[in-house]
Amino acid sequence: MTLKNIVLIGGPETGKTNYLARLWAALGEGDGILRAPKTPENIKYVEEALEFLLGGQFAPRTDNALDADGSGLEISVCTDDGDDSTTVELVVPDVNGEMWRGAVENLELSSKWLDALGSASGVLIFLRAHSPLNVSPLDWVVAKDLLSAGAGGAEQQVGLPTQVVACELVRILEFARRQAKNAAKLRLAILISAWDLLDEEASDSGPEEFVNAQFPLLAGRLRDLSGIEVEYFGVSVVGGDLRQDEEFRKSFHQLPLNKRGYVAYKAAGRIEMSPDLTLPVAWVVGVGLQDA
Amino acid sequence: MTGMKCASPECTVEQTGVCLLGNPAGQCQNLVEQEVLRSPLSVGAPVLPAPQAHSGIPPSLALGSTEASELMAARYCRVIGVIGVPNSGKTAALVSLYLKLSNDQLEDYSFADSRSLIAFEEISRGARRWTGNLPEQLTQHTKLAEERTAGFLHLRLRDGYDGQAFDFLMPDLPGEWTNSLIDENRTDRLGFLRSADAICLVIDGRQLLEFESRNRAMHRGKLLIRRVSDFLGKDKVPLFLVITRRDIGIPDAEIISGLSAEAAAKGFEVSVVHLASFSDSDVVTPGEGICDLIRGLRTSPAVTEAAYWPDSPRRSQDRSFFNYRNRG
């Protein structure tokens, strides 16, 4: 059986844990292109996260101290054609987003995670649509004032813009693969979580266009990669906002979880919407989107 | 934590509590202080958690000359020598370029990569300024440092028309180095100019516009052109006169042509670009001129390489063997 290490990368509250929980639910239901023929040994972590979704809540922010074995999902999956030769062992550890932010801001990353990036079979980078934690690029007025202040003047004390953090995460990924001397082609999925928050026009334009418009530095960077294949997905794990949308929250239990949520992606030049939450991982492990 | 130990090797007071000389406990003159471990069982065990080994991830700051050389060995990079006295607008131009890219506002070009992305970000936020302790030389290795270091900023852009990507390396230097060049002909740290594909000579447009200051500004500008010319010798590269503060006006044509003529007389191929890094005007947009400058820098001819197999002059020969040459 082939082992596939998948790494989830993203800052705090970008949706990694909720997606992992929803992925687990989708694999278990067996409705998607990827399915799990048997239940894995240790499902404590994903079950705890899934409990929240089943109860009509998003899983809370991942524990700061989380970086222990067992935090994540290890599961055998296969494609729905049932061919044994397509069974892969997925290992998807979860980690607090602060770790990735620390990697960018302080260049601190444990050898465990550097090795994980270097040997990864696939990577998912998470960005959250319209997150209050997203930091915009500097605007012209503020930049001009800062320059005019000159030496001794105050500097702007805000975090790095989200697109700069994302570019740096890509740089760290490339560094890890060079260190590991890993020349195998890598599939990198860009997941835009909370896709349901977008207006119709933005949603219809698709996730790649969303990145082009909202994160132009990252968009340019992703077009310049060598040895890395990129695909874009818009993801809504439950199809609505369980925090801010009270009506949606009240009606949530009218449908089972496996009828909730969707993935937006581009195939054959069109933006498609699929209820199959396993799609991003399926693509990352080698399934073509045209097979979805 | 300290304890007492007997200096006499035969005494076992530490273990038994009984002094070899019969002195009361703690009162023997041979007792000396020693460090006592908190727990004898932890001898040899670390008392602090081991610091996490540095990941080795290189910082995304101004590249040292070593890293810049490595990058140039991997791909072709246009080295753009950017010089100008303090407050001429070099930093503002860099920030303006970066903001245009960050907001996808650079008309014909888009961002592709930067090995010094954090440096650009921090310079824009005012986090890195030239303070009292100016660097004396270009940094050799990229390093984490609180202060701004003199190094190379890397930028890779993509042309929106032909889709081609190209790389710039631009040294980020304090303006005082230019003053030293003018006043003391100090060239020891400007060796990169000889490898540059083009030179941007940044001049404060406000100084050229204002009546009281323009003669001095023009004089200093010409001096700088002469210094650079003398330093480069025969190997001239395209020179861009980047006149900043376009938002408050364009200096008199006579002033600009005076500077251009000085540069042309020295053998430079000269281009003039008027730049408004920021704008106090309603009719001039911030960043105006940046795209023109990028286009010029990208298309300026690189240093001509010597012909690999140059034609030699034809010699008249009696031998017919040589007569085959240049036959159609």
Question: Which residue in the set A111, A175, A220 is minimally distant from B110, CB to CB?
Answer: A220
Q: How far apart are the first and last CA of chain B?
A: 97
- Is the predicted pLDDT of residue A108 greater than 50, yes or no? yes
Answer whether B158 sits within 8 Å of A223, measured CB to CB.
yes
Residues A227-252: tens digit of each pLDDT:
999 999 999 999 999 999 999 999 99
> What's the gap in Å between the CA of A158 and the closest CA on chain B?
9
The tokens describing B306, both together, are 């010597």
Residues paired with residue A234 on neighbouring β-strands, in sequence order: A192, A264
Secondary structure class of B231 (helix, strand, coil): helix
Residue A62 carries which side chain, given as an amino acid letter?
A: T
Q: Are B104 and B110 in contact, with CB atoms under 8 Å apart?
A: yes
> What's the gap in Å between the CA of A203 and the closest CA on chain B?
20
The tokens describing A144, both together, are 């001009």
pLDDT of residue B31: 73
Answer whether B102 sits within 8 Å of A175, measured CB to CB.
no
Question: Which residue in the set B57, B102, B131 is minimally distant from A217, CB to CB?
Answer: B102
- E-assigned strands of B13-150? 31-35, 77-83, 109-113
Enumerate residues 14 to 73 of chain A having a beta carbon within 8 A of any beta carbon in chain B. Answer: none
> What's the gap in Å between the CA of B52 and the closest CA on chain A?
7
Hey, of B102, B114, B116, which one would you mutate to test binding to chain A, going by the most A CBs within 10 A of its CB?
Answer: B102
Q: Which helix (H) or strand (E) holds A5?
A: strand A2-9
Residues A81-102: tens digit of each pLDDT:
655 556 788 888 887 888 898 8
Hey, of B124, B159, B206, B247, which one would you mutate to test binding to chain A, going by the most A CBs within 10 A of its CB?
Answer: B124
- E-assigned strands of chain B? 2-6, 31-35, 77-83, 109-113, 151-159, 165-172, 198-203, 239-243, 270-274
Question: Which residue in the set A109, A155, A156 is minimally distant from B55, CB to CB?
Answer: A109
CB of B259 within 8 Å of a chain A CB? The answer is no
Question: Which residue in the set A156, A219, A221 is minimally distant from B125, CB to CB?
Answer: A156
Cβ-Cβ contacts under 8 Å, B56 against chain A: 179
Q: How many CB atoms lie within 10 A of CB A194?
A: 23
pLDDT of residue B91: 92
CA dihedral (B16, B17, B23, B27) positive or negative: positive
pLDDT of residue B8: 72
What mean pLDDT value characterizes chain A?
88
pLDDT of residue A235: 97
Answer whether A216 sits within 8 Å of B92, measured CB to CB.
no
Enumerate residues 107 to 136 of chain A having a beta carbon within 8 A of any beta carbon in chain B. Answer: 107-111, 114
Hey, of B54, B97, B121, which one would you mutate to test binding to chain A, going by the most A CBs within 10 A of its CB?
Answer: B121
Q: The complex's ipTM?
A: 0.91
CB of B86 within 8 Å of a chain A CB? The answer is no
Q: Are A61 and A13 in contact, with CB atoms under 8 Å apart?
A: yes
Answer whether B158 sits within 8 Å of A111, measured CB to CB.
no
Q: How far is the CA of A74 from the CAs of A45, A100, A113, A187, in angstroms? A: 10, 21, 16, 19
Enumerate residues 209 to 248 of chain A having a beta carbon within 8 A of any beta carbon in chain B. Answer: 212-213, 216-217, 219-221, 223-224
> What's the gap in Å between the CA of B202 and the closest CA on chain A?
17
pLDDT of residue B144: 64
Question: Which residue in the set A103, A107, A151 is minimally distant from B131, CB to CB?
Answer: A151
Residues A250-263: tens digit of each pLDDT:
999 999 998 999 99
- Is the predicted pLDDT of residue A42 greater than 90, yes or no? no
Cβ-Cβ contacts under 8 Å, A161 against chain B: 102, 121
CB of B58 within 8 Å of a chain A CB? The answer is yes
- Is the predicted pLDDT of residue A215 greater than 90, yes or no? yes
Q: Which of B275, B265, B179 is nearest to B230 (CA)?
A: B265
Low pLDDT (below 70) residues in chain B? 1-5, 9-10, 14-16, 25-26, 33-54, 128-133, 139-147, 301-328
Question: Which residue in the set B103, B121, B131 is minimally distant from A164, CB to CB?
Answer: B121
Answer whether A146 sits within 8 Å of B126, measured CB to CB.
yes
Q: Nearest residue of B to residue A146 by CA position?
A: B126
Q: Are B92 and B126 in contact, with CB atoms under 8 Å apart?
A: no
CB of B286 within 8 Å of a chain A CB? The answer is yes
CB of B158 within 8 Å of a chain A CB? The answer is yes
Distance CA A238, CA B154 (A): 42
Distance CA B130, CA B123 (A): 10
Question: Which residue in the set B56, B99, B101 is minimally distant from A143, CB to CB?
Answer: B99
Distance CA A35, CA A26 (A): 8
pLDDT of residue B131: 64
Residues paired with residue A6 on neighbouring β-strands, in sequence order: A122
Answer whether B55 sits within 8 Å of A144, measured CB to CB.
no
Hey, of A67, A99, A101, A107, which one would you mutate to test binding to chain B, going by the most B CBs within 10 A of its CB?
Answer: A107
Q: Which of A221, A135, A159, A284 is nearest to B155 (CA)?
A: A221
H-state helical runs in B107-191: 117-124, 176-184
- Is the predicted pLDDT of residue A161 greater than 90, yes or no? yes
Polymer length of chain A: 292
Give the A:B interface size as CB pairs under 8 Å. Answer: 110
